[in-house]
Amino acid sequence: MPAGFLEHANITVSDPDRSAALLQSLCGWHERWRGASQLGGWTIHVGNERDYIAVYTRDEPVGQRFAKGAPLNHIGLVVDDLDAAEAVVAEAGLVPFNHMDYEPGRRFYFFDWDGIEFEIVSYPSPAPAPSFLQRLGEALSGGRWREAATFAPEVGRPAVKPPA
């Protein structure tokens, strides 16, 4: 089966500069590109090196706000600091709501100026893997010589024969 990832989403907004600025402040992203759209109007791509959100506007003003759930339910974004992200949303004059804390992370939602719903979520960081020296020390202190001897290739040295 092929492997994939979401490369971008393209959303229609009334003010791409305002939406792009919010996404940059919220996620630490940067502007990847801006220019005329192939179908008229113009677009700003905001994201990182792998993926982005295209904020698009037509040549004519955006009409009414979209109804909740039409054409999509929400866009979920992961941040490393949920409290800081909520402050960015509030400073933009938007209203965070539906705060929840359940496995696997904390989250809140907000509607942007055009009625597009966003879910902002933060997951706990996994515990860092033990370093080479930590693993070696644990193996040696536990008398696990054979296990310790297998670590040598990690530092570019041939494995050592354990004592008999």
Give the CATH number for residue 60.
3.10.180.10
DSSP 21-68: HHHHHHH--EEEEEEE-TTSSEEEEEE-SS-EEEEEE-SSPP-SPPPT
Task: Please give the distance of CA 139 from its chain centroid, rounded to a whole number.
Answer: 37
pLDDT higher than 70, residue 18: yes
Q: State which H helix or E strand residue 133 sits in.
A: helix 132-141
What total number of domains does the chain contain? 2
Q: What is the mean pLDDT of residues 5-28?
A: 95
* Domain match, 23 and 93 both: yes
* Full residue range of the structural domain in which residue 116 is found: 8-122
* Length of the chain in terms of residues written: 164
Q: What is the mean pLDDT of residues 111-120?
A: 94
Distance of alpha carbon 119 from alpha carbon 107, whole angstroms: 7
Q: pTM for the whole thing?
A: 0.73
Task: Dump pLDDT digits (tens) for 28-65.
Answer: 999 999 999 988 899 999 999 999 999 999 877 666 66
